[in-house]
Amino acid sequence: MANVIVIGAQWGDEGKGKITDLLSRSADVVVRYQGGVNAGHTIVVKGQTFKLHLIPSGILYPNTDCIIGCGTVIDPQILIAELDQLKELNISTDHLLISETAHVTMPYHRLIDQASEERRGSHKIGTTGRGIGPTYADKSERIGIRVLDLMDPDGLREQLEWTINYKNVILEKLYNLPPLDPGEVIEQYLGYAERLRPHVVDTSLKISDAIVRRRNILFEGAQGTLLDLDHGTYPYVTSSNPVAGGACVGTGVGPTMIDRVIGVSKAYTTRVGEGPFPTELHGELGELLCDRGAEFGTTTGRKRRCGWFDAVIGRYAVRINGMDCMALTKLDVLDELESIQVCVAYEIDGDRSEHFPTSSRKFARCRPIYKTLPGWQVSTTDCRTLEELPQQALDYLKFLAELMEVPIAIVSLGASRDQTIIVEDPIHGPKRALLHPDGTPATLLSA
């Protein structure tokens, strides 16, 4: 039995969907614990592509229970579209369970998200416009609608009459938008409720039962460490806690039940939306990474900003998440390059620093200090063992593992499930803390 958290170690889109799908073959339960339909997780199996926003990436395994936990926010319209899409592809969703206490994204959340971004002008965050921030804001303000409210038609009518009239003041007076018709929204959401009702349960109880029965549980993070509300590049973050700690709060599982944390990172860096990004490449190289990596958002289709691997944020992610090992994805995207740069430290206001600064204004002034490594200039997409990798690629991996003091347990060389090298068992291999009890850095890819 092992309970494992998979998190994004950068700014999202690291390939969490691929890695979660891969690890789901030995999981009994896969749980999403935060975020909403701002996420876009891609899985490619035998040439078929699946794009998931809310449904956990374990859904392709019919015997694996999939749970949308209480820390997520649920847009029922998009969730239902996702269920329909999977049904069309003959993928069963009978094993999907939805938390009663997750909060629900309403039409006013989407409208306010988009209107407030417009109002912010040059201060905009570059959100996905899916109403995520306003849904979490209502949760904190204690005026949110939860899934269990949707399941109670009389209660929902009463609650939404009041809330929509309250939100209409904001829509009309602050944003100059037409008001919503409470009756229309109520009927629409009661329809969604009936569709989702068979999936709705007390998921914390289900997970607790699974733990008692010593089942393997995989917690699937959305977004990434640097987008975390508390630990990311605030205010250019999302409104939830993608870090490993969020998995406990977002599912109702105690920290003592967690066995392991796996971080997912690209072999370079991308970011969507606004905010500082020290290793961003603006010229031809950035375009090359974008083209080779097909770096366009799964949810919004926006072009992702691309840059070199940043080991400062890598080390930060290892620390903040208590990461045991790492899955490094998209190594193949670097195949053509003559040389590759890795940011080993920052220069901040004339001083060298190896630490991620807590202030975003300071972070915006960080200049990367690079180490240049030779490229390998051959295709790696068909490699299935470390021995098959060109020496320069192996050296690159060793360099990153040593720099971040974390073993690389998985290397991904293509979008497909099989384009993967398992360096060591990421779930049952030694824990990072046990690798070097005397404080010496982890060497190589585990050894």
Phi-psi region of 330 (alpha: psi -120 to 50; beta: other; left: phi over 0): left
* Tokens, residue 404: 């971040």
Only one of the segments 32-40, 160-168, 281-289, 347-355 lies at the binding site for ligand IMO (rule: CB under 6 A); that segment is 32-40
Stretch 318-337 residues interacting with ligand GDP (CB under 6 A): 329-330, 332-333
Among 7, 414, 427, 445, binds ligand GDP (CB under 6 A): 414
Answer yes or no: 41 catalytic.
yes
Q: Give the residue with the Cβ less far from ligand GDP, 344 or 415.
A: 415
Name the nearest CA neighbour of 322 among 247, 272, 376, 236: 247
Closest CA to 31 of 67, 61, 58: 67
For position 32 contacting ligand GDP by CB under 6 A, the verdict is no
Write down the catalytic residue from 21, 41, 149, 231.
41
Q: Taking CB under 6 A as the rule, does residue 271 contact ligand GDP?
A: no
- Does 73 bind ligand IMO (CB under 6 A)? Our answer is no
Contact 345, 353 (CB under 8 A): yes
For the CB of residue 411, give the shortest distance to ligand GDP in the complex, in Å.
8
Instruction: State the DSSP code for 308.
Output: -
Binding segment for ligand IMO (CB under 6 A), chosen from 149-157, 216-224, 244-252, 349-357, is 216-224
223 binds ligand IMO (CB under 6 A): yes
Transcribe 19-80 into DSSP letters: HHHHHHTT-SEEEE-SB-TT--EEEEETTEEEEESSS-TTTTSTTSEEEE-TTBEE-HHHHH
Contacting residue, 27, 185, 261, 272, with ligand IMO by CB under 6 A: 272
Is 265 an interacting residue with respect to ligand GDP (CB under 6 A)?
A: no
Q: Is 227 in the site for ligand IMO (CB under 6 A)?
A: yes
222 binds ligand IMO (CB under 6 A): yes
Angle, in degrees to the nearest 10, between helices 132-141 and 107-120: 110
Q: Is 13 assigned a catalytic role?
A: yes
Task: Compute CA 151 distance to the chain's CA centroid, rounded to the nearest angstrom.
Answer: 28
Q: Are 367 and 347 in contact (CB under 8 A)?
A: yes
The residue ranges that bind ligand IMO (CB under 6 A) are: 8, 11-13, 38-41, 125-128, 130, 132-133, 222-224, 227, 238-239, 272-273, 298
The residue ranges that bind ligand GDP (CB under 6 A) are: 8, 12-18, 40-42, 44, 294, 298, 329-330, 332-333, 412-415
